[in-house]
C-alpha cells in the first residue's frame, strides 16, 4: 500500500489507521502469522498500532502482547505466565533515553562514568539473557537517542560526565552485545531521531501528558524501523533491483543525446548526483542485492552509457540486461524467470511515473518507490528498507556474482542438444554433510528466504538451527554446489526427525538458482543413506502448499515416495522404505567436509 511506503505521511497514518488496517485485511490475502511481544519503557499503544500496519503491508499479520507501562524489565526477568502462554515469535524492547536510571555527574571522572555505563548496560544484558533462556526467539532492542539538552555544550560529547558521551558509551556496549549474540538486533532510534530532528522527536509535551517517549508523529517512523527488522527476520526482504537507465542511472536520453552528452561523472551538479547514485547502487552488491536493467532503448545504444570511463556501473554489474521496446512490466517478469526469482522479489526504480504505475498495477507484489528528483534517489531507496540487513554471510557478498554466473550457464546450455551432456560439461562438485558452524548463518537465512522450492516453509532462527545440529534426534544436511563457472555456496537444506524407526522430513528446501542441476537428487540420495545408517526403516516427507511453492507439489513422487495422505487443504504426506529407495544417478562429484 503506497500510504505505508517511505516517505509516508505520519499524521495521515495515525488518523486513518483503522481504515488502512481494514483495507489491508482484504479477504483472500495470505499472511505470515507472527506473535510480537512489546516490552515498553513508555506508553506503547500507538507503537503497536503503527507496527501492525507496517507488518501487514509486509505480508505479516501480527498478534501482540504488551507489557504494562514501564514494566519491560519485570516482564522479561521474572516468571510471566501470560507472556509464556503467548509464546512470542519475536520480542521488541521499546526503551529510550528516558529509561536510563543513572546518569554521570558533569564532574565525574572517566572511571566513574564508565562504572555507571557498565551498571546500566549489565541490567539490560541480564534482561536479554533472561529472555533468550525463557523464550528463545529473536529480540529487538532500541538503542538510545541523545539527551534533549547538553549541560556541557559541545563538551558534552567529550567530557566523561557529558550526557552525549554517556549515550555513545551505552550504544557502543549494546552494539558489542549484538555483534556477539545471534538473534539479537539493534533498532537504531538514535539515527532515526537525528533524521527526524531531535527537538521534534523528544517533544516533552508527549512525555508529560501521555508518557510517550517521542512525539506522536515520530512513532510511525520508529514503528517502521522495527517492522523492517521483523520482515527481514522472517524472510520478507526484497532481493533485486530492476533499474531504468535514462534519467535514472544517468541524466538525459541516450538515444537522443548520445553517450558523450548524458549527465554522469563530475562535470556538473546533476552529473555528480547520478554519479553518487551509481556508487550507492554499486555498493548494494556488497549485501547481495542483484542488479538488473529494464529500459526502453536500443540495446547497443544503451550499453554505450555503461562503457563511459566515468560510469561507476559497468555491464558486468548486472545479472540481466533488458534494453528493448517491450513494456517494462513484461521485461520485469521475464527477468524474474531468467534469474529464477519471484517478481515480488524486485524493486522497480524508474523516474517515469507512467512506467511506475504500469509496473505497480501489473506485477503483483513488486515494490515501486516514488523516485522524485536525483537528489532524493539515494534517500528514498535507503530509508525504504527494502534490503534490511540482519546478518551478512560470504554468500551474500557473492550473490550478485552467482546470478551473473547463472546467466553464463544458461548461455552455455543453449549450445547443447543433450541436457545430460550439458550437465556433465559443468564439472559440478557438491559438498553435502551435516550442519557445520561456519554455515549456520547461511542455513538460517535460507530457511527464512526460500519460498518456491520449500516443501514445509518451516522458518528457523540461527539458534534453532544450532539446536537441531547438536541433537541426536535429528538428521541435518546442507549442500554446497560449485562448477566451472563459480561457487553457488550453500544452496540446499534438509532436516529430518527420528521417530521410532521412521525419519520425518520437517524441512526440505533448495535455492532456485540451482534448479535442474541434479542437486535435489544428490541431496536425497545422501539423506536416505544417512536415515538408513540411523536405523530408520521408513522416510516420511510432507508437502504444505503455499501461494508460492506449487512447483514442488509432486516432489516426493520423483524419488519413488508413495502418497499416504492428503487433507482438504492440499497438505500431503509421502513415504518410502530406506531399502526400497533407488538412488538417482547424478552428474555431480560428491564429497563431505
246-284 pLDDT tens trace? 999 999 999 999 999 999 999 999 999 999 999 999 999
Reported pTM = 0.84
Distance (Å, whole) CA 35 – CA 233? 13
Are the C-beta atoms of 504 and 496 separated by less than 8 Å? yes
Q: How many CA atoms lie within 13 A of 178 on its CB side?
A: 19
CATH H-level superfamily of 421-591: Gcn5-related N-acetyltransferase (GNAT) (3.40.630.30)
Could you tell me where in the chain the CATH 3.40.50.1110 domains are found? 2-233
Could you tell me where in the chain the CATH 3.40.630.30 domains are found? 421-591
Are the C-beta atoms of 140 and 187 separated by less than 8 Å? yes
What pLDDT does residue 491 have? Answer: 92
Are the C-beta atoms of 311 and 339 separated by less than 8 Å? no
**Residue 588's closest CA among 427, 413, 420, 408?**
427
| pLDDT higher than threshold 90 for residue 395 | no
pLDDT single digits (tens) 31-75: 999 999 999 999 999 999 999 999 999 999 999 999 999 999 999
Residue 413: band (very low, low, confident or very high) from pLDDT cuts 50, 70, 90:
confident
Could you tell me where in the chain the CATH 3.40.50.1000 domains are found? 240-384
**Residue 514's closest CA among 446, 418, 581, 437?**
446
| pLDDT higher than threshold 80 for residue 399 | no
Are the C-beta atoms of 146 and 198 separated by less than 8 Å? yes
CATH 3.40.50.720 assigned to 2-233 = no
Distance (Å, whole) CA 576 – CA 580? 7
**Mean pLDDT, residues 343-356:** 96
What pLDDT does residue 400 have? Answer: 75
Distance (Å, whole) CA 509 – CA 6? 33
H/E stretch holding 422? helix 419-425
Q: How far apart are the first and last CA of the chain?
A: 46
Dihedral through CA 582, CA 588, CA 592, CA 593, nearest 10?
-160
**Mean pLDDT, residues 321-341:** 94
CATH H-level superfamily of 240-384: HAD superfamily/HAD-like (3.40.50.1000)
Residue 187: band (very low, low, confident or very high) from pLDDT cuts 50, 70, 90:
very high
- 26, 400, 429 from 484: Cα distances, Å: 48, 17, 9
**Residue 553's closest CA among 538, 542, 568, 539?**
542
Distance (Å, whole) CA 346 – CA 20? 24
Q: Which of 13-27, 387-401, 417-431, 535-549 has the lowest mean pLDDT?
A: 387-401
Residue 593: band (very low, low, confident or very high) from pLDDT cuts 50, 70, 90:
low
What pLDDT does residue 195 have? Answer: 96
What pLDDT does residue 105 have? Answer: 97
Amino acid at each position: 500500500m503506497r500510504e505505508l511506503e517511505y516517505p509516508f505521511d505520519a499524521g495521515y497514518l495515525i488518523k486513518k489507521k483503522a481504515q488502512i488496517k481494514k483495507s489491508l485485511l482484504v479477504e483472500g490475502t495470505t499472511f505470515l502469522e507472527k506473535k510480537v511481544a512489546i516490552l515498553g519503557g513508555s506508553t506503547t499503544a500507538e507503537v503497536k498500532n503503527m507496527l501492525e500496519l507496517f507488518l501487514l503491508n509486509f505480508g505479516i499479520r501480527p498478534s501482540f502482547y504488551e507489557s504494562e507501562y514501564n514494566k519491560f524489565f519485570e516482564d522479561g526477568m521474572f516468571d510471566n505466565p501470560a507472556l509464556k502462554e503467548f509464546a512470542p515469535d519475536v520480542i521488541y524492547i521499546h526503551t529510550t533515553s528516558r529509561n536510563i536510571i543513572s546518569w554521570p555527574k558533569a564532574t565525574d571522572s572517566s572511571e566513574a562514568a564508565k562504572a555507571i555505563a557498565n551498571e546500566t548496560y549489565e541490567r539490560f544484558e541480564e534482561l536479554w539473557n533472561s529472555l533468550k533462556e525463557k523464550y528463545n526467539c529473536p529480540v529487538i532492542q532500541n538503542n538510545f537517542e541523545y539527551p534533549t539538552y547538553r549541560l556541557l555544550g559541545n563538551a558534552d560529547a567529550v567530557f566523561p560526565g557529558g550526557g552525549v558521551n554517556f549515550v555513545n558509551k551505552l550504544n557502543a556496549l549494546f552494539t558489542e552485545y549484538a555483534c556477539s549474540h545471534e538473534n539479537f538486533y539493534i533498532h537504531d532510534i538514535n539515527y532515526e531521531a537525528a533524521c527526524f530532528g531531535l527537538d521534534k522527536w523528544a517533544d516533552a509535551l508527549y512525555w508529560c501528558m501521555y508518557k510517550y517517549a517521542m512525539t506522536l508523529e515520530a512513532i510511525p517512523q520508529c514503528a517502521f524501523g522495527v517492522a523492517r527488522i521483523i520482515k527481514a527476520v522472517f524472510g520478507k526482504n526484497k532481493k533485486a533491483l530492476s533499474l531504468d537507465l535514462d534519467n535514472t542511472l544517468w541524466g538525459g536520453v541516450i538515444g537522443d543525446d548520445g553517450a558523450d552528452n548524458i549527465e554522469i561523472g563530475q562535470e556538473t551538479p546533476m552529473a555528480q548526483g547520478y554519479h553518487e547514485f551509481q556508487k550507492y547502487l554499486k555498493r548494494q552488491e556488497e549485501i547481495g542485492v542483484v542488479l538488473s536493467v529494464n529500459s526502453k532503448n536500443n540495446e547497443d545504444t544503451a550499453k554505450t552509457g555503461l562503457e563511459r570511463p566515468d560510469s561507476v556501473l559497468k555491464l558486468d554489474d548486472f545479472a540481466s540486461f533488458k534494453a528493448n521496446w517491450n513494456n517494462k512490466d513484461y521485461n520485469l517478469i521475464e527477468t524474474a524467470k531468467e534469474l529464477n526469482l519471484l517478481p515480488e522479489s524486485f524493486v522497480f526504480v524508474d523516474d517515469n511515473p507512467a512506467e511506475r504505475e504500469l509496473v505497480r498495477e501489473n506485477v503483483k507484489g513488486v515494490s515501486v518507490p516514488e523516485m522524485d528528483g536525483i537528489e532524493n534517489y539515494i534517500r528514498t531507496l535507503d530509508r525504504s528498507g527494502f534490503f534490511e540487513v540482519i546478518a551478512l554471510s560470504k554468500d551474500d557478498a557473492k550473490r550478485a556474482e552467482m546470478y551473473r554466473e547463472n546467466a553464463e550457464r544458461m548461455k552455455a546450455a543453449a549450445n547443447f542438444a543433450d541436457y545430460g551432456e550439458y550437465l556433465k560439461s559443468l564439472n559440478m562438485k557438491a559438498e553435502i554433510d551435516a550442519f557445520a558452524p561456519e554455515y549456520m548463518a547461511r542455513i538460517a537465512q535460507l530457511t527464512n528466504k526460500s519460498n518456491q522450492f520449500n516443501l514445509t516453509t518451516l522458518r528457523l532462527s540461527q539458534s534453532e538451527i544450532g539446536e537441531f545440529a547438536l541433537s541426536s534426534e535429528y538428521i541435518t544436511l546442507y549442500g554446497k554446489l560449485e562448477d566451472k563457472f563459480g561457487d553457488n555456496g550453500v544452496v540446499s537444506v534438509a532436516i529430518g526427525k527420528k521417530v521410532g524407526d521412521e525419519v520425518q522430513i520437517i524441512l526440505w528446501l533448495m535455492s532456485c538458482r540451482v534448479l535442474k542441476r541434479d542437486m535435489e537428487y544428490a541431496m536425497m540420495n545422501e539423506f536416505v543413506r544417512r536415515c538408513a545408517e540411523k536405523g530408520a526403516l521408513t522416510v516420511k516427507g510432507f508437502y504444505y502448499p503455499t501461494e508460492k511453492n506449487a512447483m514442488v507439489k509432486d516432489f516426493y513422487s520423483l524419488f519413488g515416495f508413495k502418497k499416504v495422505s492428503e487433507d482438504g487443504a492440499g497438505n500431503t504426506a509421502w513415504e518410502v522404505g530406506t531399502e526400497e529407495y533407488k538412488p538417482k544417478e547424478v552428474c555431480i562429484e560428491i564429497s563431505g567436509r
